[in-house]
């Protein structure tokens, strides 16, 4: 089992981790290098939406790969989609915890208050919903041979 999980982790990292990594790099560029959030506050909303989409892509890909390798058993497709949504919501929650701790311990000003925090989480979940809707649409349009047999 250990070998299967390590093989799964490597495959997931190679195929799916690029998306959230790219959004994180964009966030760092905007927040630390060019001051993009100060110049255009709406960029923060767009990055949270893209972050939700990217993390959902990663989580769904990881769940589908685990299913292919029989690590998760044979869950229904709806279970994989729900898992991806919940993983993204959890990631958004922990991102906001990290912003809170950064503000508290390092004197940053990442959070603009309750409205900012909750809208950031909502945008992350909305991004996940957008990605999952597109993935479901693509899956329904694909031939039965190309679909995961879940």
Domain residue spans in the chain? 2-141
Under 8 Å between Cβ of 87 and 125:
no
pLDDT of residue 119: 95
Instruction: Extract the tokens encoding 100.
Output: 């809170």
pLDDT score, position 84 = 97
Per-residue pLDDT tens digits of the chain, which is 150 residues long: 566 667 888 888 899 999 999 999 999 999 888 888 888 888 989 999 999 999 999 999 999 999 988 888 889 999 999 999 999 999 999 999 999 999 999 988 888 899 999 999 999 999 999 999 999 999 888 856 555 543
The predicted pLDDT at position 145 comes to: 53
Residue with tokens 């950064």: 102
Token pair 């958004």 in the structure block, residue: 92
pTM, 2 dp:
0.87
From first CA to last CA, the distance across the chain in angstroms is 21
Distance CA 69, CA 48 (A): 31
């Amino acid at each position: 089992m250990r070998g299967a999980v390590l093989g799964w982790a490597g495959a997931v990292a190679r195929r799916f981790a690029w998306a959230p990594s790219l959004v994180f790099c964009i966030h760092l560029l905007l927040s630390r290098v060019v001051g993009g959030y100060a110049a255009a506050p709406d960029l923060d909303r767009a990055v949270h939406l893209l972050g939700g989409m990217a993390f959902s892509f990663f989580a769904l890909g990881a769940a589908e790969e685990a299913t292919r390798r029989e690590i998760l058993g044979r869950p229904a497709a709806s279970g994989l989609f729900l898992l991806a949504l919940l993983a993204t919501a959890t990631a958004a929650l922990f991102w906001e915890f990290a912003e809170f701790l950064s503000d508290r311990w390092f004197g940053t000003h990442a959070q603009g208050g309750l409205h900012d925090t909750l809208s950031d989480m909502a945008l992350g979940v909305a991004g996940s919903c957008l990605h999952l809707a597109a993935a479901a649409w693509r899956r329904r349009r694909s031939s039965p041979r190309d679909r995961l047999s879940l």
